[in-house]
């Protein structure tokens, strides 16, 4: 695994660092202080578009749009950028406009017409646009096979009924890729994904959840009541999804691809915690204490190990090699290390941490979600164990 950076990537990281320092960290702190997601009309989002962000990786109907070049960026490069962004503010990274989590799903399973309809507006967006992926429900989180949102065919439409919760960017999204079941008796095999456009009658009751950290982006619950979408809104179209587990597998592929990204985010937050802890320890004369020095060394060692695991998962993806074990290991380990770094930072702060206005205290609240999203630590460890033992996942 070659970890050397070419010049273009080194420059990209340097630009990301500068942007993080000047824009991302301040807007993240502002959202945290005000306790609300960055508003849709915040000038930060306008500047994102001006910098060329918020666009799809799709290369357009004729294959010539710039997106193709973005797609060719290696997974390892994407992970390094994800780590850097999270170093400055992971919540702002998720708040950034763009087709987000479901884009990979649409690129791999969407029909040409669906790519044009749903990714087309992200080629040259005229305004900040978002999309999101809705799997989790009040009664189905880790056990994604248990989702109860129903999809029923009625002539040329699908009718959706159910509710979703904790969905990133849902109330501002142009469309939501909703995971639903056509037959709960069939478990995973009954699952399909549907594009539900903003403003569709029956898509309602958006409620931004209260979150302890990552306040810069909204996590939102909503309901679907007799929500009717055209038959063409079934991801991949009818023939591809019929009679197989493609709907569920596509969702699992999205999560598998996302796990090293969350691991990279956790490493980024962990690095920020280490830097802030060092600064605090230096300013308060704590570096002379052996116990403090030992823990700083342990944090650096474990963060570095987590980072290598994460990059290995990305490297395997770039080589088109299976990486399920590495993706899960990296997420399980990085989220745990990030949380350890946060606990250490809070211990160093003492009463300063209890006041709730130090950056370490914010990062302590932010990093917890890295253990929850896209499969909790327990679930990652179960995936690894089952894969190693050759049991069905």
Which of the residues are catalytic? 374
**CB closer to ligand FAD, 58 vs 133:** 133
How long a stretch of residues is the chain?
393
Nearest residue relative to ligand FAD (C-beta)? 141
Q: Compute the chain's Rg from CA coordinates.
A: 21
Q: Least CB distance from residue 126 to ligand FAD, whole Å?
A: 25
Residue-by-residue DSSP string for 20-72 = IIIIIHHHHHHHHHHTSPPPTT-HHHHHHHHTT-S--S---TTS-STHHHHHT
Residue 263 token pair = 């691991």
The CB-of-287 to ligand FAD minimum distance in angstroms stands at 34
CA distance 304 to 59: 35
Tell me which residue of 121, 214, 132 sits closest to 177, measured CA to CA.
132
Q: How far is the CB of 300 from ligand FAD (least distance, A)?
A: 27
- Going by their DSSP bridges, the two strands 173-181 and 130-134 should be labelled as parallel
CB nearer to ligand FAD: pick between 278 and 384: 384
In the bound complex, what is the minimum distance in angstroms from residue 149's beta carbon to ligand FAD?
A: 11
Q: How far apart are CA 317 and CA 302, in angstroms?
A: 23
Q: State which residue, 22 or 378, has the beta carbon closest to ligand FAD.
A: 378
Q: Least CB distance from residue 211 to ligand FAD, whole Å?
A: 6
Burial (CB count <10 Å: 0-12, 13-18, 19+), residue 63 = exposed
Smallest distance from ligand FAD to CB 376, Å: 3
Nearer to ligand FAD, 376 or 387 (CB): 376
Work out the burial of residue 91: count CB atoms within 10 Å of its CB; fewer than 13 is exposed, 13-18 middle, 19 or more buried. buried
Residue 14, C-beta contacts closer than 8 angstroms, at least 6 positions apart: none
Residue 167 bridge partners (DSSP): 220
**Which residue lies nearer to ligand FAD by CB, 141 or 187?**
141
Compute the C-alpha angle 220/225/231, nearest 5°.
100
Q: Quick one: angle between helices 75-95 and 7-19, nearest 10?
A: 10
DSSP state of 116: I
The residues binding ligand FAD (CB under 6 A) are 132-136, 141-142, 166-168, 211, 214, 219, 369, 372-373, 376, 378-379, 382
Q: Which residue, 211 or 259, is less far from ligand FAD as judged by CB?
A: 211
């Amino acid at each position: 695994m070659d970890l050397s950076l070419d010049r273009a990537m080194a420059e990209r990281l340097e630009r990301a660092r500068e942007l993080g320092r000047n824009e991302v960290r301040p807007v993240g702190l502002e959202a945290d202080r005000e306790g609300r997601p960055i508003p849709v009309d915040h000038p930060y989002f306008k500047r994102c578009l001006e910098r060329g962000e918020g666009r799809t990786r799709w290369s357009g109907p004729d294959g010539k749009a710039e997106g193709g070049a973005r797609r060719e960026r290696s997974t390892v490069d994407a992970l390094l950028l994800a780590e850097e962004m999270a170093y400055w503010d992971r919540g702002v990274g998720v708040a950034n406009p763009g087709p987000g989590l479901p884009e990979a799903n649409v690129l791999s399973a969407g029909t040409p017409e669906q790519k044009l309809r749903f990714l087309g507006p992200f080629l040259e967006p005229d305004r900040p646009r978002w999309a999101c992926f809705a799997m989790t429900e009040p009664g189905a989180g880790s056990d994604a096979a248990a989702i109860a949102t129903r999809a029923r065919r009625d002539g040329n439409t699908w009718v959706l009924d159910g509710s979703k919760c904790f969905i990133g960017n849902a109330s501002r999204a142009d469309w939501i890729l909703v995971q639903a079941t056509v037959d709960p008796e069939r478990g995973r095999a009954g699952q399909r994904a549907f594009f539900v456009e903003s403003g569709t009658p029956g898509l309602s009751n958006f409620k931004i959840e209260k979150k302890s950290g990552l306040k810069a982006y909204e996590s939102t619950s909503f309901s679907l009541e007799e929500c009717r979408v055209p038959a063409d809104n079934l991801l991949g179209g009818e023939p591809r999804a019929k009679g197989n587990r493609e709907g569920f597998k596509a969702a699992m592929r999205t999560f598998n691809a996302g796990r090293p990204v969350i691991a990279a985010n956790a490493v980024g937050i962990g690095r920020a915690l280490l830097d802030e802890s060092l600064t605090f320890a230096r300013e308060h004369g704590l570096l002379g204490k052996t116990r403090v020095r030992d823990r700083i060394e342990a944090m650096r060692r474990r963060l570095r190990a987590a980072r290598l695991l994460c990059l290995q998962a990305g490297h395997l993806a770039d080589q088109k090699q299976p990486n399920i074990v590495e993706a899960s290991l990296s997420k399980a380990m990085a989220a745990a290390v990030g949380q350890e770094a946060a606990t250490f930072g809070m211990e160093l702060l003492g009463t300063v941490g209890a006041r709730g206005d130090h950056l370490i205290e914010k990062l302590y609240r932010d990093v917890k979600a890295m253990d929850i999203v896209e499969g909790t630590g327990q679930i990652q460890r179960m995936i690894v164990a089952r894969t190693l033992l050759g049991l069905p996942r």
